[in-house]
Amino acid sequence: MLTTDRLVLRPWETTDRGRAFDLYSQWEVARWLGREPRALAEPAEADDLIARFRSRCTPDGRHGVWAVEVRETGVIAGTLLLIPIPDGAGEIEIGWHFHPDSWGRGYATEAAAAVRDRALADGLTELYALVRPDNTRSAAVCHRLGMTPLGRTDRFYGTEMEAFRLAR
């Protein structure tokens, strides 16, 4: 678990099913994710999603896909990830998916900065973010994190992405 002034980053739990479905059934969120973006259609699909997220969390807490909970309300604002890029050669990706009702509050930047800082303190020397073209909100978070734009690439996830890199 990782905390900031306003947020708690923790593993997704099966009891988070409703919020996971609400978040990932939003086309405004899903349109930016995966090779073939698709919003969840049934609440039961959230169970598989949570299981996948939990399977990406390492026992030492260095990598994972975590729920980002607002401390004051207990509401899950979104997801923050720090994972090896599936199609990569050892590169580590930092990423985020937030519910539209949590946009514009700085939660993505706050959560990502905390994960970035911990990853660098733990010895990671570089991080990548992969953002779909035209996803200006996520690109803005990359800039706020101090990441350098590398341009477009189709090297990862089988689709064209804007790549960003942060080196120690």
CATH topology of domain 2-167: Aminopeptidase (3.40.630)
Structure token digits, residue 69: 């909970």
Return d(Cα 80, Cα 86) in angstroms, integer: 16
pLDDT digits (tens, 9 = 90+) for 119-146: 999 999 999 999 999 999 999 999 999 9
Nearest to 84 by CA among 62, 111, 106: 62
What is the mean predicted confidence (pLDDT) over 6-21? 97
pTM (2 decimals)?
0.94
Residue 57 has pLDDT above 80, yes or no: yes
Strands 2-3 and 64-70: unpaired
What average pLDDT is seen over the chain? 94
Are residues 25 and 17 in contact, defined by beta-carbon separation less than 8 angstroms?
no
